[in-house]
Amino acid sequence: MKLAKCSLAVIMTVGALTSLNAADTLADAFKNGKVSGALEAWYWDRGYAGNKSEGLFNTGIKLSYETDTLYGFSLGATFQSSHSPFASEEAKIAYKGDQYGPGEVLSEAYLAYTAGKTTAKIGRQYIATPLIASSPSRMIKQSFEGATLVNKDLPQTMLFAAYVDKYQNRTDTAGSVADFTNNFWIASPLPGATSAVAGNTKAWNTLDGDAYSLMAVNQSIPYLKLTGQWVGITDLADIYYGEIAFSGKTDSFRYGLAGQYEVTDFDNTMNTNDSGYYGLKMNLGVGAFNTYVAYSEIDEDTTAIPGVGGGPYGTIYTSQV
C-alpha cells in the first residue's frame, strides 16, 4: 500500500491579534493574547496492488490561543478537529492509521516562562527538532506532553533540552482521533533497513516509556549552520544526529550544500546491532524557483530509527514524507 496523491484543497487563516508589550494585569494578559487558526480540507487517494484505490476527504479546524506575558509567564492552547463525512467503509479501514479518525483533541495546553533569552515550556506542545518532531503532513498534527527549555544567550547559538513522556498520534486506529497516551510512536525503520527489532518483546510502534533530548544549533560562522542532537529513548536506544549546512546568495541566485549523519545505538536488551544513515544534499534557487538533489544511504545490516514522532521522517534528505 502506498500514498498515491495528496492535495490540500483549502487553507484559510482566521486571524491574529498581537501585542508588543508585556501585560500589567492578568486581565490584560488574556485580552492582549494572540489568536490564530485555519479551516482545512484535504483529499487523499491511496493506491493498492491490482490497481485498487480508495479516496478520503477530510475537513477540520485548527485554533490556537496564547496569552500575553505576565511577569514572564504565559499560557497557550491549540485545538484540532478532523471529520470525514463521506468516508466509505473501505476508506475507513484503509486510512485508520493516519487520516480516518473523526473527533477533536486539545493538542497544546502549556505554561511557558521566559527570563531574558531563556524560555521554559511545560505541558502539551508541538516540538520541531531533527529527532523529536510533530508531523504536519496529515490533518491531525502529532503532539507531545512534557517539558522543553530553549536558551539563546550564546551568540548565534540555540541550546535546547527536552523531556517527553506522553504522545498524541493522528488517530487511535479504531475510528477516532488519537488522545495522549504513555505509548510513544517510534518512527518505523527507515526504508532499506532490515528490522532486527521486530521479534523483540516490546511492541515496535507503541513503546511504553519516555525520552530525553539535548540539542545545539550554531551559526557563528558566516553562511554555515551546525546542528547536533541526542535523544535517549528509555530501554530502546540512544540516537545521535549531526548536520553541517552551507548556504549562500548572490542577487536572486541561491545555493547550498549540506551533509548529515545519524547513529542509532540500541540498548543491550534489544539484541540488535547499532545502525544509522548519512546523507548529502545540494540545492539551487533562482527567484521563486527552488530545486535540490540528494543522496542518502541507510545501514543495511539492521534497523535505523529516524526518531520520536512522525516528524523525523522528514529529517533524512531523501524522505518523501
Can you give the residue ranges of every domain in the chain? 1-100, 110-321
CA distance 162 to 212: 6
pLDDT of residue 320: 57
CA distance 74 to 217: 25
pLDDT of residue 137: 87
Fold of the CATH domain 110-321: Porin (2.40.160)
pLDDT of residue 73: 96
* Phi, psi torsion values for 92, nearest 5 degrees: -60, -35
pLDDT of residue 302: 62
pLDDT of residue 186: 62
pLDDT of residue 207: 57
Q: What is the pLDDT along the chain (321 residues), one digit of tens a residue?
A: 444 334 333 333 333 333 345 788 999 999 999 999 999 999 988 876 666 788 899 999 999 999 999 999 999 999 999 999 998 888 888 888 888 999 999 999 999 999 999 999 999 999 999 999 988 889 999 999 999 999 999 999 999 999 999 999 998 888 899 899 887 766 555 544 444 443 333 434 445 678 999 999 999 999 999 999 999 988 888 999 999 999 999 888 999 999 999 998 888 777 777 888 899 999 999 988 999 999 998 887 667 788 888 888 788 888 755
